[in-house]
Chains A and B, each alone.
Chain A
Amino acid sequence: MSKIFHPSIYKSNLKRMWILPVLYGIGLVVFSPYLLSRSIKISGYSTGSKGANEIFAGYFQEILASPWLSFIVCIICAISVFSYLYRTRDSYMIHAFPVDRRSLFLTAVGTGFTMLTVPKLFVTIVTNIYTISVGAKVSGYLWGYFFEGVLIDVFFFGLASAVALCCGRTLSALITYVAANFLYVLLKEAIYWLIVKLRYGVVIADNDSFADVLTPTVYMDMKLNGTTDGYAISSDLFSSMKDALPVILVYALVGILFFGVAYVIYKYRHLETAGSFLSMEWTKPIVRWVGAIGTGVYLVIFVSVFESYDSVVGTMGSFAKWLLLILLFTAIAFIVFQMLIDHTLKVFSPRRMRELGLFAVCVCAVMVWLYADPLKNADHVPDPADIKNAAVAVRIDSELNFSEKADIEKITDFHKQLNREKKDSINKLMAGKEDHENVQITYTLSNGKLLIRSYEVWTGEEEKKRAGSVYNKMDAALSKPEQLKIAMFGKNYSKRKVREVDVPILTGNETVLEGITEKKKAAAVYEAVLRDIDEGNIKLWDQNNSEAESFIDISFDLDENDIKEDGWIKDYVSITIGEDAVNTKARLKEYGYN
């Protein structure tokens, strides 16, 4: 029975790579106490206050438990500790030593964890000393984030090790690892882009959270920051640290599984592949194809940036153009990847050409399917009986939500009309007509699925005058004061505590914001705004219309402790008011703002 861990190789590894943990540690220490002290000073919070503690917690998370930082450091660590596998000389030499692959693997993993954890532990201790010295009681935050940071490292280091062992070259490990972390989401976005291009006006999304889970860096960061899709889920960062723990634990367990995969790969890895792009035969077609398709689609997206939007929608000619471009770019990427894998320019074998031919047939089939939409997926409008909630986003940052059957029916009605008028809408876009507004409709179905559709709505005078136009139907369906107030200020709009109201004042040629800081006055302005919404004096279509002369934007600074109670994230809300907002204007005039 041989040893499972070799202290002499471990020491030799650390001696060789000492610069990495030292630089990492120095970086963390410089950023931690230095930036902390600056931030507290700038914020004006007194040490030990809740605000100061929030700032501390934010920094600890960014420094000790940042998935992004962990992502980068773990790549470097994995590539470093398994670097001997990328050099033929080292690879043969170390495997001729009286050590088996299991102990070499465990020793490399041990070295990596030391390089990841010791700097983190060091900075935790230094920061702890610093915070205690300035009178802040935040040790709980610190050690909590340290622990979570270690767990995040377990996940990323496990993933990085599995990828690094698949690859024969350092660079390919890097490329493959980044791809492994982001490929799913990037490909999903690319496919959406294709669908939008081919089926104008349609965005389809089923469940975003699944995609997020497969992008661990983003997902963990979101959980640690206490947000999901822009909405607060925790009352403070310390709670979000606790809330994020189960998710991070699951990732850490997956990380352990990755270590298992990495070990199996190492055990069966051929050493003669040290200089190859990939070390495992079975990964070659995967890399060749996923790399080729990914690169091909992204190149097409890149090219599309230089094309006007109008020229790519709708027409059969555009469809053929994009189809050909995708085929061309993917074929080029396919050949390049094959050259990298085989280390030769001679990759035009009949077998590879057959593969490319098959690919071309598949791409054509998929594109034709998307274009023809035989299942009428693009124009699908769910039955109102199957809809739990319909949300419409237009003009304002937040959506207007409707759950009453009558309201939902109105929305599906104008939605159907949007589909019917789609062709006409495309023609107008292609003719370069203006006065259109993007509207996004999101249905939450009874089975929990989301169905999202996006369109351009025509909003010019002609549409306003035309009876039964989509604009008029939307106006009738969406002009609900209650929904508008919720969309602007959250469910508990009536209980909001306003800290300040900012009003634009024209001084000379410049417009500056002046604040009404007296709480009583600020509350009175807020109350007047709510009354104007109720009386129909502030409308949805007025919002973000401040370019018009008679409209101005006023902003409300809301008490953040109050808004977090009902999960509302916006503590600074801007609304647009026009001449009709009589109550608000009167109140502002009373306080000296004309």
Chain B
Amino acid sequence: MIKAEHLTKYFGEFKALSDASLHVKEGSIYGLVGPNGAGKSTIIRHITGAMRADSGNVFVSGENVYENARVKSMMAYIPDDIFYNNSDTLIDLKNLYKGLYKDFDEELFKKMEECFPAIDVKKTVRSYSKGMQKQAAFYLSICTRPKIMILDEPVDGLDPVMRRQIWSIILSDVAENGTSVLISSHNLRELEDVCDHVGIMDHGKVILERSLEELQGNVTKFQMAFSGEKPEIPGELDVMHSEISKSLVTLIIRGNAEIINEKLLKLDPLFLDMIPLTLEEVFIYEMGGEGYDVKNISSVDIQK
């Protein structure tokens, strides 16, 4: 559905995107994660057609998206800072969207008033709280009947109730209409619940793209205890992270969990636990390899 190929973008001397490629399959929910400044918002702006790449292309349904109004009409983009003109009422914005999106569903707009009782469509968007503004943005976007939703930090800064509400809107739209969704977020815990594919960005590159299942299945945490001297870990294992505390050894290992388990059992541990990783842990350990690991405060010399 979305194919971003080898995007490169400079802001002056700064390379914001460096040969970045990203692929979102039809009907999937794709979570784009990465540290601050990794280039998530920049790649999203290329996918929405707002930015022109210095090199590379973005294709949506096989067509180049830049300056392509027809393709852009299939997409609904909800940035973190939402509105084009927040002195408009939601009715004004509805009229604007109606003129811009040929599939805009006015009937749906009327029906959805019931789903958003807190939103007064006659008030200016400026007078809404941040949470209400987000809801209003989804309200409008869904009425455009998008085939693709592109969401940049959709629940950032919202309270837990509001976050749940927003996720519920997204999921019901996907369930009912088969919409493809690309979400950029820092909240990996929440992404884990909704995404089926994940891409990790760093330094302007998409360093990893997998299905969530594959990603989580590919990295496993093992905890072992040994009675005497600790044996050497087999060199053929792809150990991403290791921690040794007295008799306890914790290893994060990339690869098939069952095969690794068998190899570790041969070391004759007192016990061996195989613990699946959360997306947040996968992110931290994958980023550790990119020099973005969490520093242990005790390892840093903080004395003068």
Contact = CB atoms under 8 A, between A and B. Distances in A.
Nearest to B102: A98
Contacts of A122: none
Contacts of A90: 84-85
B70 A98 contact: yes
Contact of B100 (A9, A16, A89, A95): A9
A93 interface: yes
Contacts of B49: 95-96
B197 to A, nearest CB: 22
B117 interface: no
B79 A9 contact: no
Nearest to A3: B69
Interface stretch (B88-96, B207-215, B269-277): B88-96
Interface residues of A, number: 28
B50 A92 contact: yes
B96 A8 contact: yes
A285 interface: no
Contacts of A96: 45, 48-50, 72, 75, 77, 79
A271 interface: yes
A271 to B, nearest CB: 6
B92 A12 contact: yes
A11 B95 contact: yes
Interface in B59-84: 67-73, 75, 77, 79, 81-84
Which of the listed residues A9, A101, A272 has the most CB atoms from chain B within 10 Å of its own CB?
Answer: A272
B6 interface: no
Nearest to B97: A8
B96 A9 contact: yes
Nearest to A91: B50
A271 B66 CA distance: 13
A6 B95 contact: no
B130 to A, nearest CB: 14
A16 B51 contact: no
B52 interface: yes
B95 A272 contact: no
B138 interface: no
Interface string A80-95: 0000100001111111
Given A16-B87, A92-B79, A96-B77, A7 B48 contact: no
A272 B51 contact: yes
B69 A16 contact: no
A255 to B, nearest CB: 26
Contacts of A99: 69, 72, 100
A12 B81 contact: no
Contacts of B87: 16
B99 to A, nearest CB: 2
A93 B100 contact: no
Interface of A: 2-3, 6-9, 11-12, 15-16, 84, 89-101, 103, 270-272
14 contacts: A2-B69, A12-B88, A12-B92, A16-B88, A90-B84, A92-B45, A93-B79, A95-B49, A96-B48, A96-B77, A97-B100, A271-B51, A272-B11, A272-B51
Interface of B: 11, 45, 48-52, 67-73, 75, 77, 79, 81-85, 87-88, 92, 95-101
Closest 8 CB pairs between A and B?
A8-B99, A98-B73, A2-B69, A96-B48, A95-B50, A98-B72, A96-B77, A93-B84
Given A9-B100, A93-B83, A96-B75, 20 more contacts: A2-B69, A6-B100, A8-B96, A11-B96, A12-B85, A12-B88, A12-B95, A92-B50, A92-B79, A95-B50, A96-B45, A96-B72, A96-B79, A97-B100, A98-B72, A98-B100, A98-B101, A270-B52, A271-B45, A271-B51
